[in-house]
Amino acid sequence: MRSDAQALKGHLDVLLLATLEDGPRHGYAVKEALREGSGGRFDLPTGTVYPALHRLADAGLIAGTWSVTDGRRRRSYRLTAAGKRKLAGERANWREFAAAVTTLLEGVPWPATS
């Protein structure tokens, strides 16, 4: 699997929302959660992650607050109610999409029966 931003095109926003589901994280921690949660496959540059976080904040899906830790100023992000709804909807869409692709690739009749 490719590990660059192009491989995640169209999926990065929802993956970033998912990294915030367990609670607020500062920007670098979001980047690390994406890397660790994917077993290192999604080790994206900060130049990809931070603009996406700003885009999500502008869309009202996450909210950021500034704090100072060890003399350094950093911004932490948390999911908003709209972000939680978006994440839930995208998860449902992903499950349906993945089921359809699996059906096509594995030749299982739709809907797949157990």
Q: What is the per-residue pLDDT for 69?
A: 84
pLDDT tens-place string over residues 66-84: 999 889 999 999 999 999 9
State the Cα–Cα distance between residues 76 and 64, nearest whole angstrom.
5
106 and 44 in contact (C-beta within 8 Å)?
A: no
Report all structural domains of the chain as residue ranges with CATH numbers, in order of start.
Answer: 5-106 (1.10.10.10)
Mean pLDDT score, 3-19: 79
Q: What is the per-residue pLDDT for 10?
A: 80
Residue whose C-alpha is closest to residue 53's, from 79, 89, 92: 79
